[in-house]
Amino acid sequence: MEKRRESFIRMLDELGYAPQHAKLYLLIPLKGCSECVDDALEFMSANKESKNIKFIISSNEAKLINIKIGSLKNAPSVIIDVKNLTEKEGFTSFGTIMLIKIMDNKSIETKSFIGSSIKADLRQLKESI
């Protein structure tokens, strides 16, 4: 199995989630470009019932999580990363929204959603879920 995929699966395990059905993960660090984060959280809210995608919210500040997502933190599609593992493991960096796709061939694909293209990227993602 590819090292990057192994690292991602190990991180999910540490977050208490076993990847069974979802193949898409949108990693949203709450610190960074507020417009990008807000766009990603709006997308999450609109797609919280989807079984095809999971949303990993990353922040070590419980207050910030409560302010930004409130009761959405209890949605089955939401995984909370209070240890900032997504950043520590190199899957996100300050303010970068990242899409992780688990492939059947034991690898992963990644795509960064940053800057002015984030709305277009999220529209395209909506079509694939």
| Per-residue pLDDT, 105 | 58
pLDDT mean for each 10 residues of the chain (129 residues) = 83 85 88 87 94 93 92 92 91 85 81 85 90
Note the pLDDT of residue 113. 86
Q: What does the pLDDT read at residue 21?
A: 64
Residues 41/69, Cβ–Cβ less than 8 Å:
yes
Angstrom distance (rounded) from CA 14 to CA 18: 9
What is the architecture, at CATH level 2, of domain 3-128? 3-Layer(aba) Sandwich (3.40)
Q: What is the pLDDT of residues 56-85, one digit of tens each?
A: 999 999 999 999 999 998 899 999 999 999
Q: In what order do the strands lie in the sheet with 78-81?
A: 78-81, 53-58, 24-29, 97-102, 108-113
Q: What is the structure's pLDDT at 29?
A: 93
Identify the pLDDT of residue 34.
84
pLDDT number for residue 79: 94
Rounded to two decimals, the pTM is: 0.91
The pLDDT value given to residue 93: 78
